[in-house]
Amino acid sequence: MDRLRSLIVLAAALLAGCGDQGPQSPAAVVVTPTIPRVPMGGTLQLNAAVVNADGQAIEDEPLSFESAEPDVLTVSDGGLLTSVGSLDTVTITATSGDLATEVEALVVPPPSALTVVPRSLTVTAGDIAQLYIIVTDEHGDSIPSPALILETDTPSVAFVGPDGLVRTGQSGLATLVITSGEQTVDVHVTVTP
C-alpha cells in the first residue's frame, strides 16, 4: 500500500509539471481511476498513459496489464477489468518497459436498487430539467459514479445525459429509460410548446 501511495504521489507530481516540453523519456505510468470499483459480474475500463518527467503523455508507448488474481478479476490487453469471482481487492499492474504502476481494484456488490426522481416530467420545449439518479448496492449504500445506460425512445423530444440533465427539443411525448446493472426505470416526459 505504501508503494501504491508513493506511485500516486509521483504521478500527481509529474502531472503537475511546469508544462514546458520536456524530454520524451518515459518517467512513469499513470492509471485512472486510481481506485477502480468493479461491480461483481461487471466491467470497468482502466485508462493508462506513459508520461515523461513533465507529466506529458508519450504516444505509442507499449502498455501491458496484469491481474494478481485472474480468478477474481481479469484484465484485457486494453485495460478492461472484468469481475469473474467474488467480492475482493485485487492488485492490477500496468507495465511499460521498466516502469510499472499498481492500483488496488475493488470488486463491489452489483447495483441492487435504482432510484430516479422525479418519475415523470412536464417541460416546455427548449427547457432543461434535472433528474436525480441514485444507485445503491445490496447494503443500501450509494454507489459512486455508477455505470448507467441512458436511452430515449424519441430523442427529438427529450434525452438525458449522464449528469441527469434532461434536454428537450420539439413538443411531444418521450420515455427515458435509465438502466444500471439489471435495474431499469422509465421516466415519462411531456414536452409542451
Among residues 77, 108, 139, the one where a domain terminates is 108
Together in a domain, 17 and 82? yes
Q: Cα angle at 168 between 163 and 171, to 5 degrees?
A: 160
Among residues 49, 82, 108, the one where a domain terminates is 108
Report the C-alpha gap between 22 and 84 in whole angstroms. Answer: 41
Together in a domain, 136 and 161? yes
What pLDDT digit, counting tens, does each position of 55-111 carry?
899 988 999 999 999 999 999 999 999 999 988 999 999 999 999 999 999 998 888
C-alpha cell at 4: 501504491
Task: Count structural domains, the chain.
Answer: 2
Together in a domain, 12 and 97? yes
What pLDDT digit, counting tens, does each position of 123-149 carry?
999 999 999 999 988 777 888 888 889
Confidence of residue 4 (pLDDT cuts 50, 70, 90): very low
Domain of residue 13, CATH code: 2.60.40.1080
Together in a domain, 102 and 133? no
15-50 burial code (b ≥16 CB/10 A, e <16): eeeeeeebeeebbbbbbeeeebbbbbebebebebbb
Domain that holds residue 72: 2-108
| Whole-prediction pTM | 0.57
Among residues 65, 82, 108, the one where a domain terminates is 108
Together in a domain, 65 and 86? yes
